Chains A and B, each alone.
Chain A
Amino acid sequence: MTNAILAEGLRKHYGEVVALDGLDLSVPEGSVMCLLGPNGAGKTTTVRILTTLLEADSGTATVAGLDVKQHAAELREKIGLSGQYAAVDENLTGFENLDMVGRLYHMGRQLSRARASELLDRFDLDEAASRQVKTYSGGMRRRLDLAAALVARPEVIFLDEPTTGLDPRSRLSLWEVIEELVTEGATLLLTTHFLDEADRLADSIGVIDHGKVIALGTAEELKSKVGGERIELTVRNDADLEPAREVLSAVGVGQVTADQDARQLAVAVGSGGDALIETVRGLDTRGISPLDLALRRPTLDDVFLGLTGHVAEEVVDA
């Protein structure tokens, strides 16, 4: 299978701060790759390098078979970018925004206009087409921004945190639009720090932290990497926390994580059923009666925690 995106050993630093520290990435044609990581992990820097906005200090990257440095001008004809900000002009109407982008892709007047109308229709913006964008809601702006990235039917589409700052309903409707795109055969690279988003949209997920891809695989593969299932235990009072932790660390394969306020403990386990029985026995021996005890398949939250030692959302911008 041909790779639509291939990056090898990308490095980039801003002064003292290392943004990318030898990032490798390959995305097969027609697939959806999601870069998952906290703010400051290097997701946006990666997208900026792959879309010719930024030059890497070292390393190589090709997108749609074109070197991002050597063939930047030709490459721009084959990609579409929707950045972190909804980069649409507030003072223009939705139609004018898309038509402008079409003209700048050097589509003829007729073609550009037709494409703009078609996209507005498809993204449910046809009624707002002749309204200035400043009257649009956040979700509408994002949809318009996404539409702008698709004007020239690009081979490779980059979406940098497409749903950041959106309310849950707008997120869902944007996800549906993105899922539709994928069925049309474009290659998609999207970044997010929402684990559920990666889980839902991506064929494969690259977990990125401190400028490197630290794990790569399907959502399922990543989940199995951190020990398959987990036991989650909630106790009734603070005094039970410590003995309960001892029980869990005896049956688990990794570190026990604790949420003191919720009196909740969790641990990854190898063989779920047996571990659950062991836990019940251990708790019984110590006279602890749990408020809640469950065996659960891991989420990407757990994956991230297992791989990086910290929770994705907790990390502040570097």
Chain B
Amino acid sequence: MSFATAISDGAVVAKRNLLKITRLPDLLVFSTVQPIMFVLLFAYVFGSAIVVPGVDYTDFLMGGIFVQTVVFGATITGAGLADDIKKGIIDRFRSLPMARSAVLVGRTTSDLLNNLLVVTIMALTGLVVGWRIHTSLWEALGGFALLLLFAYAISWMMATVGLSVSSVEVVNNASFIVIFPLTFISNAFVPTTNFPTVLKVFAEWNPVSAVVQAVRELFGNTNPLSPVSESWPMQNAVLASLIWIVIFLVVFVPLAVSRFKKAAVR
């Protein structure tokens, strides 16, 4: 099986997943309305109450909400795979002479493109409510790239979950249990300075915090008046984010592929 074949098989599957998005207009509407709603809710509800010294809260918020949304969005990778297993479509794919990686590569790729759309909509909404990028174009693009890369890595984690559990509902519940604390015990919506010690340490080493901080830095949404903690990941947020992304991929790509090979109709 050549590399080129694997890529083209992956593309066939990705195209199939993307067609689904266009065939279900309501799905598309809700997946775009949700990020708009999040930005508005957080900006006006939290924004009215939370003061982060030296930074406009909307600027502070956007990094957090970007990361939270793409992480939540990654659950569709797991849910999509669990659904395909249930309907016997994974069985069909596994009986075809296609690359073993294609279903997963196709799925994570189409979800990446979906995330690109979501991030674009959020960024536009953010600009409307007063969020501004204060850095160069290249740094800003770097921020978006890091965001999508992180979402892609989380997608592989969710793929592993989706191939391991018994139904779509379980994917959603299981993901929620992991993702909720991960996004909320972090610097996404409030500074971690006043967290109790245990939560603070967790938040500082949380991959979500690293990516949030990195994105804020790349968009220029930080301020010296509001210093982040001295911990290594917070001081080296971009590097820490990249390390986390590599760790997620190294762990979950092989795990997901091996789960895929054993996936059976349940």
Contacts and interface: CB of A to CB of B under 8 A. Distances in A.
Interface string A57-97: 00000000000000001101101110111111111100010
A85 B23 contact: no
Interface stretch (B39-47, B90-98, B232-240): B90-98
A117 interface: no
B250 interface: no
A92 B96 contact: no
A132 interface: yes
A308 interface: no
A218 interface: no
Which of B19, B87, B91: most chain A CB closer than 10 A?
B91
Contacts of B9: 104
B145 interface: no
A89 B106 CA distance: 15
B97 A85 contact: no
Q: Secondary structure at chain B's binding surface: helix, strand, loop or mixed? A: helix
Interface stretch (A48-56, A223-231, A233-241, A298-306): A48-56
Given A87-B88, A87-B89, A79 B95 contact: yes
A96 B19 contact: yes
Nearest to A55: B262
Given A54-B264, A104-B12, A89 B89 contact: yes
B96 A91 contact: no
Contacts of A258: none
A148 interface: yes
Given A53-B264, A91-B19, A92-B19, A104 B96 contact: yes
A204 to B, nearest CB: 24
A83 B96 contact: no
B97 A77 contact: yes
Nearest to A97: B16
A104 B88 contact: no
Contacts of B20: 89, 91-92
Nearest to B95: A81
B89 A103 contact: no
Contacts of B24: 91
B24 to A, nearest CB: 7
A105 B97 contact: yes
A112 B19 CA distance: 18
A228 B109 CA distance: 62
Given A91-B19, A92-B19, A106-B5, A84 B96 contact: no
A169 B3 CA distance: 46
Interface string A2-22: 000000000000000000000
Nearest to A90: B87
A103 B23 CA distance: 21
Contact of A83 (B1, B5, B92, B102): B92
A84 B97 contact: no
A77 B97 CA distance: 5
A76 B94 CA distance: 9
Interface in B222-266: 264-265
A277 to B, nearest CB: 54
A52 B95 contact: yes
B16 A83 contact: no
B83 to A, nearest CB: 10
Shortest 7 CB-CB contacts between residues of A and residues of B: A85-B88, A87-B88, A76-B97, A87-B92, A81-B95, A91-B20, A77-B97
Given A91-B23, A92-B16, 14 more contacts: A51-B95, A53-B95, A85-B87, A86-B88, A87-B88, A87-B89, A89-B16, A89-B20, A91-B20, A91-B24, A96-B16, A100-B12, A100-B15, A148-B92
20 contacts: A48-B264, A53-B91, A73-B1, A80-B95, A83-B265, A85-B88, A85-B265, A86-B88, A87-B89, A88-B89, A89-B89, A92-B23, A96-B16, A101-B92, A103-B8, A103-B12, A104-B12, A105-B97, A105-B98, A106-B98
Interface of B: 1, 5, 8-9, 12, 15-16, 19-20, 23-24, 87-89, 91-98, 102, 264-265
